Structure 1
Amino acid sequence: MEQHENFRIKSRISPQFDPWDAWHTRLAKGRYELTSVEFTVTNLCNLRCEHCAVGEELVEREGAAIPVELLIRRLDEIDTLQTISITGGEPIVSPKVVKETIQPLLKYAKSRGIYTQLNSNLTLPLSRYEDWIEDLDVLHISYNYRDVHDFHRIVFAKMGREVDIKAAETLFGRMKENSRALAKAGVFVSGESLLSPFTSQFIDQMHHDLVEMGCARHEVHPLYPSDFARHADLISLEQYEEAIHRLLEVRDPNTWILFGTLPFFPCSDDRQHRGLYTQLHETPNVTVRQDPDGRNRLNVNGFTGDIIVTDFGDVPSLGNIHHDRLSDIFDRWLQHPLAKKYHCYCEQAKCTGPNILVANAYYNNWDFTKRSAEGLVKIV
């Protein structure tokens, strides 16, 4: 494989360097740049999880995908590109998608020194991962279960038919075995838990399960109130805070914990919330990721070509890959009223403002651009 003319030597992904975090570019360049593109490559999935953020897009059969050559041509136009994410659906369900879309994207990224992540439920046979996984940087999985009974209830919640517990036992066991096997082989497996009224009570157990599964990182996010989960109850900020403290008390110190779309801010009126924000930044092997959506990332639908700022929100399509350059779309987005509303920036507090969903859920009446983190010790 030939090395791309824009090849970058990659640093090791670690708590000190998360290439998906919008903070690095904003600090270094003084502005946001398009460094990340996420592709939705399939609307097929073998599960129907109750928390799925794209559940209503899932299909039994899907139409023709956009040729990968066009996707790569658009990526080639982005000089600032650093990361590519691949999602679905379950990207590995279709061998055709793996061969014709995923593998070419991974090889292209490797030729440029671009970091890659693929989101998978990891329930398919291990052989489906083995002939391409070496080109992947991060294998991302969701984990929101205490046991097989939770798994059975959650992942088949929207299936539309009864699924035998035996099927759940097979898939649940396979997911754990696959994770251990791939981690042992050197794959960076990152397990994500979504905090909800259910999972927040058991986040400590889920953390230890992920450690036992060989995960190098545990990501913790709020449950997004969208799609299948749009009617789900959100936990209160007090419950969220309790869950974080419980996790920090029992965590494995050798496992990186990443808090994404965190609903606590250094400009909060609540002293405890400000203290928690500072604590997370000062705790070894714990990081707070500044939200990539709209700050350094766009999402591309691999079938319609539509370009959106987030795969979870309600911001309409900003353009289409058939006739728009992604960098042009991103520059246009930065002038959008929503971007201006939420793209506040505080270098002292290492904060780039809220995720749109978090702001709507917890801080609907706040104007973040008029708040400040005065009195906070500088976070490095």
Structure 2
Amino acid sequence: MTSFAERKKPISPEWDPWDAWYTRSKEGRYRLTSVEFTVTNLCNLRCEHCAVGEALVEKEGVSLPVEQLIRQLEKVEDLQTLSITGGEPIVNRHVVDNTIRPLLQYAKQRGIYTQLNSNLTLPLSRYEDWIEDIDVLHISYNYRDEADFQRMAFANANHQPSATLTNRLFQRLKDNAIVLSKAGVFISAETFLSPFTAPHLPHMHKEIAEMGCKRHEVHPLYPSDFAKGMKLLSVDEYKAAIENLLNDRDPAIWILFGTLPIYPCSHHQSDQDLWLRLFHEPNITVRQDPDGRNRLNINAFTGDVIVTDFADVPPLGNIKTDSLTTIFDLWLDHPLAKKYHCYCPKAHCTGPNLLVANTYYQDVDFQARKAHISV
């Protein structure tokens, strides 16, 4: 008999199981197909752009039993993807052994796609005993060199580490990526776009390709937690950065634009032209935002359920008292969901991310707009 795992389609530009588009277009509504766990509030870095930075702690709390987490997953009939985030999930060996590995093994047995978010700066041995159970290893890469890494990765640290230490961590990040990529691990490296990173995006893209990463994700800088005071790109600057990358990219690397702040319902011709280009160039995809459309985040310590791990929407419920599908259905009736869950099938668009909408389109009624183009 073929196992669920053997029936999984390979992840590719033609199949991104985290994308909310598939269920919405096929079934006519959003369904809970993705769950994300925040499994730790510890991290060995204090990055200036960290969108969950204010939740980071120096001493770990007590997590809910993993059996309780898995019982909730068992009730999600349409579950397709499982994501694990933090903090840095790998920094606490107890969390790895007692939460992460059981979750990954459960997902593997059920045939669920998995992703773990890591800064990849820990010794390689910390990854080797569970990495074969992961489908996507998601990392951040926003640096030109060691000096960038030192400035950015410890911008919010109480004590600044030495250049020797930070250089070693940065080199380890790159070395780990190369070794794991050669071993067949699907590494997806994310770059956030800000006034600092945008001019250097093609250079970072080349570094990501040299590390063997299979995918380069490009997202806006989310103005949340540590990043609240950072300067943001305008939409026009964002478009220019994307065009610059598209004109100077490695065609063998899949580029995924997530939470894109550009939409086919825009009246600006440049927005429409860029949208069409992104949908017609090979190895380029635009991911329709999973948060709140097919995914919920669970805090593994409190059981609180939220739309995303870095939004300001209060908890929607708690797994100690509520089922995830009930919470998701309640969210779909929430005023914010009704405001932003627009859908344009001809343009392949499901509307804006909450943070992007609040940052760039506060006065726009997306429900009253229609796409001006078809893909």
TM-score band by shorter chain is: over 0.9
**How far apart are the structure 2 equivalents of 1:309 and 1:152?**
32
Residue 297 (structure 1) aligned with residue 275 (structure 2): no
**Match for residue 228 of structure 1?**
226
**Match for residue 153 of structure 2?**
155
Q: CA deviation at 1:8?
A: 7.7
**Match for residue 47 of structure 2?**
49
The C-alpha deviation readout for 1:263-294, integer Å capped at 9, x for no partner, is: 10000011111110111011100000000000
**How far apart are the structure 1 equivalents of 2:371 and 2:259?**
18
**How far apart are the structure 2 equivalents of 1:325 and 1:35?**
14
Q: CA deviation at 1:3?
A: 9.4
What is the one-letter code of the residue matched to 2:226?
Answer: F
What is the one-letter code of the residue matched to 1:167?
Answer: L
**How far apart are the structure 1 equivalents of 2:55 and 2:311?**
14
**How far apart are the structure 2 equivalents of 1:198 and 1:362?**
19
**Match for residue 89 of structure 2?**
91
Aligned length: 375
The C-alpha deviation readout for 1:116-174, integer Å capped at 9, x for no partner, is: 00000000000000011000000000001010000000000001112111111100000
**Match for residue 131 of structure 1?**
129
**How far apart are the structure 2 equivalents of 1:148 and 1:238?**
30
What is the one-letter code of the residue matched to 1:236?
Answer: S
Report the secondary structure of 2:70's partner residue.
helix
**Match for residue 276 of structure 1?**
274
**Match for residue 71 of structure 1?**
69
The C-alpha deviation readout for 1:76-131, integer Å capped at 9, x for no partner, is: 00010000000000000011110000000000000010000000000000000001
Report the secondary structure of 2:36's partner residue.
strand
**Match for residue 101 of structure 2?**
103
Q: TM-score, normalised by structure 2?
A: 0.98
**Match for residue 318 of structure 1?**
316
- Contact (CA 8 Å) 1:3, 1:111: kept in 2 or not? no
**How far apart are the structure 2 equivalents of 1:7 and 1:164?**
45
**How far apart are the structure 2 equivalents of 1:119 and 1:7?**
21
Q: How does 1:18-37 map to 2 (within 5 A)?
A: 18-37=16-35
- Contact (CA 8 Å) 1:306, 1:318: kept in 2 or not? yes
**How far apart are the structure 2 equivalents of 1:325 and 1:303?**
17
What is the one-letter code of the residue matched to 1:218?
Answer: H
Q: CA deviation at 1:7?
A: 6.9
Report the secondary structure of 1:348's partner residue.
helix
Match of 1:243 among 222, 226, 241: 241
What is the one-letter code of the residue matched to 1:103?
Answer: R
**Match for residue 14 of structure 2?**
16
**Match for residue 81 of structure 1?**
79
**How far apart are the structure 1 equivalents of 2:159 and 2:130?**
33
What is the one-letter code of the residue matched to 1:243?
Answer: A
**How far apart are the structure 2 equivalents of 1:162 and 1:285?**
40
**Match for residue 363 of structure 1?**
361
- Contact (CA 8 Å) 1:8, 1:112: kept in 2 or not? no
- Contact (CA 8 Å) 1:298, 1:308: kept in 2 or not? yes
CA RMSD after TM alignment: 1.2
The C-alpha deviation readout for 1:205-230, integer Å capped at 9, x for no partner, is: 00000000110000000000000001
- Runs of 4+ deviating beyond 4 Å: none
**Match for residue 349 of structure 1?**
347
Match of 2:333 among 309, 312, 335: 335
**How far apart are the structure 2 equivalents of 1:336 and 1:115?**
28
Q: Percent identity?
A: 63
- Contact (CA 8 Å) 1:3, 1:112: kept in 2 or not? no
What is the one-letter code of the residue matched to 1:131?
Answer: D
Report the secondary structure of 1:357's partner residue.
helix
**How far apart are the structure 2 equivalents of 1:22 and 1:115?**
14
Residues 48 and 3 of structure 1: is their aligned pair in 2 closer, same or farther, counting only changes over 3 Å? farther
Consecutive unaligned residues of structure 2, counting only runs of 5 or more, are none
- Contact (CA 8 Å) 1:37, 1:84: kept in 2 or not? yes
What is the one-letter code of the residue matched to 2:282?
Answer: P
Q: CA deviation at 1:303?
A: 0.5
Residues 3 and 112 of structure 1: is their aligned pair in 2 closer, same or farther, counting only changes over 3 Å? farther
**Match for residue 283 of structure 2?**
285
What is the one-letter code of the residue matched to 1:265?
Answer: Y
**Match for residue 205 of structure 1?**
203
Report the secondary structure of 1:230's partner residue.
helix
What is the one-letter code of the residue matched to 2:286?
Answer: V
Report the secondary structure of 2:305's partner residue.
strand
